[in-house]
């Protein structure tokens, strides 16, 4: 099909949250579209949308995400704007995205994936293993909380909400001895120096789709779909198909500590998955291989096997 390209007089409107990381991801999307179609920056408009999850009063309460309304807190207003036609695409951190999108919207474009690892951040300790007994750890992630307590149940884990800058400020105010951030976010903000150390997936399996940027569009907007196809990264899409099918089959939500990582080697996909009780008292994990084209099915199969292994009692928090 012939693609009608945006111009300074008819811009492509890119919706995003207003945090420094969200803006960095929107700028990366714009740069890639500019390069793919030799377009000027003025052909795009960055539209900042304040979501419920950006409410300063909610952030200050440091309550678990599930008590505040779940992952939809970060997407609802943006998706409403897209359905209303006031923006054309939306740029998201994929680890924050529910597995289902509202009717009329599609999430099928992914930029090349960044570092998937978690970053350990502490002004006084070199690594997680170096923390003294009873140390206070700040995190807003139920997955990280469960993994930490499964690893060391002596730790005092406290809620730590907010964007990267807010959490670093809390750390400097001695609210906790350490915190955890995504290496991908630090890299995109050119703040990798903030990480005291990166945690390998063997020690802390990352969140589903961590490190990936997704671009959402209206389902009927085939012109935009054709533009986005030019910047879609197929390997990232293949990896996320396995991870997000694993999440979907487990009924994943912000109440569910779930981790997964898919990696490609030639024509083979390796999927590692983990589910935990929220208090970290139990953990179930698996590690399997499949042809890349069977990645989504592998995710479903692995989830079903973990459900069976755990039995009805393990998943009583679902």
Active site amino acids: 96
Q: Which residues contact 293 (CB under 8 A, 6 or more apart)?
A: none
- Residue 141 CA to residue 139 CA, distance in Å, equals 5
Residue 290 corresponds to which tokens in the numbers above?
A: 């499949």
Q: Which of 162, 152, 201 is nearest to 59 (CA)?
A: 162
What is the Rg, in whole angstroms, of the alpha carbon atoms belonging to the chain?
Answer: 20
Strand partners, 180: 120
In degrees and rounded to multiples of 5, residue 152 shows phi and psi of -145, 105
Strand bridging mode 136-138 / 89-93:
unpaired
Tokens of 219: 């389902």
Q: Are strands 178-182 and 12-16 parallel, antiparallel or unpaired?
A: unpaired
């Amino acid at each position: 099909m012939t693609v009608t390209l945006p111009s300074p007089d008819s811009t492509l409107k890119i919706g995003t949250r207003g945090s420094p990381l969200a803006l960095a991801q929107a700028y990366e999307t714009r740069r890639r579209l500019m390069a793919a179609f030799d377009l000027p920056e003025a052909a795009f408009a960055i539209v900042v949308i304040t979501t419920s999850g950006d409410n300063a009063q909610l952030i200050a309460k440091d309550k678990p995400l599930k008590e505040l309304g779940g992952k939809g807190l970060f997407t609802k207003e943006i998706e409403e704007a897209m359905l209303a036609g006031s923006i054309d695409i939306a740029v998201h951190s994929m680890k924050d995205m529910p597995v289902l999108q509202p009717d009329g919207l599609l999430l099928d474009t992914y930029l090349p994936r960044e570092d998937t690892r978690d970053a350990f951040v502490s002004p006084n300790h070199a690594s997680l293993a170096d923390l003294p007994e009873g140390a206070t750890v700040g995190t807003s992630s139920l997955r990280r909380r469960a993994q930490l307590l499964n690893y060391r149940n002596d730790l005092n884990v406290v809620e730590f909400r907010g964007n990267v800058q807010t959490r670093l400020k809390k750390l400097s105010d001695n609210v906790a001895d350490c915190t955890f951030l995504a290496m991908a976010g630090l890299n995109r903000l050119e703040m990798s120096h903030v990480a005291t150390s990166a945690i390998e997936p063997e020690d802390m399996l990352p969140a589903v789709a961590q490190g990936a940027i997704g671009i959402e569009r209206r389902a009927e907007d085939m012109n935009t779909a054709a533009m986005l196809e030019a910047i879609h990264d197929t390997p990232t899409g293949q990896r996320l198909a396995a991870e997000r099918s694993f999440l979907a089959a487990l009924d994943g939500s912000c109440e569910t500590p779930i981790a997964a990582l898919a990696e490609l080697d030639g024509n083979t996909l390796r999927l590692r998955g983990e589910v935990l009780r929220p208090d970290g008292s139990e953990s179930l994990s698996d590690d399997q291989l499949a042809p890349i084209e069977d990645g989504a099915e592998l995710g479903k199969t692995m989830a079903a096997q973990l459900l069976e292994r755990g039995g009805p009692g393990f998943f009583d928090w679902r």
